Amino acid sequence: MLFSHNFSRYLQISSINMTLKFFMIIMSVLTVVNGLDNGLARTPPMGWMQWERFRCLTDCDNYPDECISHKLFRAMADHMLSDGYLDAGYEYVIIDDCWFSHKRDNEGRLQPDPDRFPYGIKSLADYIHSKGLKFGIYADYGIFTCAGYPGSLNHLEIDAHTFAEWGVDYLKFDGCYSDYITIDKGYIEMDKYLNATDRPIVYSCSWPAYQESNDMESNYTALAQTCNLWRNWDDIDDSWESVSEIISWFSTNQDRLAPFSGPGHWNDPDMLIIGNYGLSLEQCKAQMAIWSIMAAPLIMSVDLRTIDAEFRDIILNKEAISVNQDPLGIMGRLVLTRNKINIWTKPLQPREDGQQPYAIALMSNRTDGYPYKIGFTLTELNITNPNGFQMKDVFEKNNTLPFITDDEKIYLRMKPTGGALLVFTPIEEQLIVV
């Protein structure tokens, strides 16, 4: 990716007082709806989940290394630690559907499939905890899970206590086989039982995914007071079409979703599918850029044993993660579309001197077959600083420019269906350029 701009000549001037701008940013943050305050998920959760990559593969005879079993999750925990994912912030190892036995035990408790999890779930949780990781599990509010295993309807309290006894740190609570119109009541009730266990459990809800997909707008005020994160819309699939449709839905609905993003409560566009079969390298950059700018949970679903290095580098990109994990927790918004290229902006936490950094994500919807040169200024994106900015292209090496002003044209060559992530750091003083 290439970019260039014209340098202007400036006399050295003192930094101006940024108090008013800082005040405006803080006031915008305070407009975020108050949400669940259980001390958890103060930044978007990061981890690994099996579903998109391994689905409901339970045939351990023919697929011993890929089936949903204790062996798979122990292996992923090992790679989370040894390959740098935990150091980068990816701390949860989460079991999705299909871990269950088809029957509850004699006391009405959920139990794992005895052949695939012969040592029980607590043993697996203990192993994951021994690696310095946290453990997540899946359940469903309805009569059955999406794959047909026992649901939690009429068993909410005993299931909450079972998860706590097993050492669960994160619960993904689905909503198959339930009434989507009244589904929120069950999620709110489950929150009460989880809190009663006194174990800190991140609560991932799915009720808006069922309501929004049925043309019913969810109560996001209630969601933010009940859940740490929530799936808003359709499941992600291993394809660019799926990723781009999800991004389009979020941008269309951003004005009603963004106010509910913040520390402890997050909109969730679903898993990262980087490194699987359906996305090119450039499309993977696009997903990471948009998930980072939206302050979305970064939950990988890929085989960490076989992922190629170039895809792993995207997932582990420190600057992209920093944008995603910014303490303000602001959900970035789409602010400009030009020649089928979308541009999103996100204010980052102000510095101690009150000056405001920004992140910008670009995603190309062009399919011309060649890179397209796009030009824009920061002023067009409502980003200003009298002294200019230093610009960094997150996914490119050695592409830090020393100085750029609000009105200077920035040019990027965007590859077809590709993405970019830029970070702009304000400069304190302008210097004469000789």
pLDDT of residue 13: 30
Residue-wise pLDDT for 229-287, tens only, equals 999 999 999 999 999 999 999 999 999 999 999 999 999 999 999 999 999 999 999 99
Q: What domains can be seen in the chain, in order of their start residue?
A: 3-31+333-426 (2.60.40.1180), 46-324 (3.20.20.70)
The label of the residue with tokens 């040592």 reads 119
Measured from the Cβ of residue 148, the count of other Cβ atoms closer than 10 Å reads 15
- At 249, phi and psi to the nearest 5? -65, -45
Does 399 score more than 80 pLDDT? no
Per-residue CA distances from 113 to 98, 116, 197 (Å):
9, 6, 25
Enumerate the active-site residues: 174, 235
Tokens of 3: 């970019």
| Nearest of 359, 355, 373 to residue 427 by alpha carbon | 355
pLDDT digits (tens, 9 = 90+) for 170-181: 999 999 999 999
Q: Is the dihedral of CA 406, 251, 2, 397 positive or negative?
A: positive
| Residue 44 contacts residue 229 (beta carbons within 8 Å) | yes
The helix/strand/coil state of 116 is: coil
The pLDDT tens digits of the residues spanning 92-141 come to: 999 999 999 999 999 999 999 999 999 999 999 999 999 999 999 999 99
pLDDT band at 4 (very low <50, low <70, confident <90, very high): very low
- Average pLDDT rounded to a whole number, residues 302-313: 98
Does 11 score more than 80 pLDDT?
no
Cα(229)–Cα(213) distance, integer angstroms: 17
Q: Compute φ and ψ for 425, nearest 5 degrees.
A: -105, 125
Mean pLDDT across 376-399: 93
* Residue environment code for 323-356, b if the CB has 16+ CB neighbours within 10 A, otherwise e: bbbbebbbbbbbbeeeebbbbbbbbbebeeebbb
Average pLDDT over residues 149-173: 98
Q: DSSP assignment, residue 134?
A: E
Return d(Cα 129, Cα 293) in angstroms, integer: 30
Written as one letter, the residue type at 416 is: P
* Averaged pLDDT of the chain: 91
pLDDT of residue 36: 72
Residues 109, 101: Cα–Cα separation, whole Å: 11
Query: What pLDDT does 430 receive?
Result: 55
Backbone phi and psi for residue 104, each to the nearest 5 degrees, phi listed first: -75, 165
Average pLDDT, integer, range 331-355: 96
Sorted by sequence, the CB contacts under 8 Å of residue 320 that are 6+ apart come out as: 288, 289, 292, 314, 394, 395, 421
> Residue 403's pLDDT band (boundaries 50, 70, 90)?
confident
How far is C-alpha 348 from the chain's CA centre? 16
Integer Cα distance of 229 and 44 in angstroms: 8
SS3 annotation, 146-170: CCCCECCCCCHHHHHHHHHHHCCCE
Confidence grade of residue 398 (pLDDT, cut at 50, 70, 90): confident
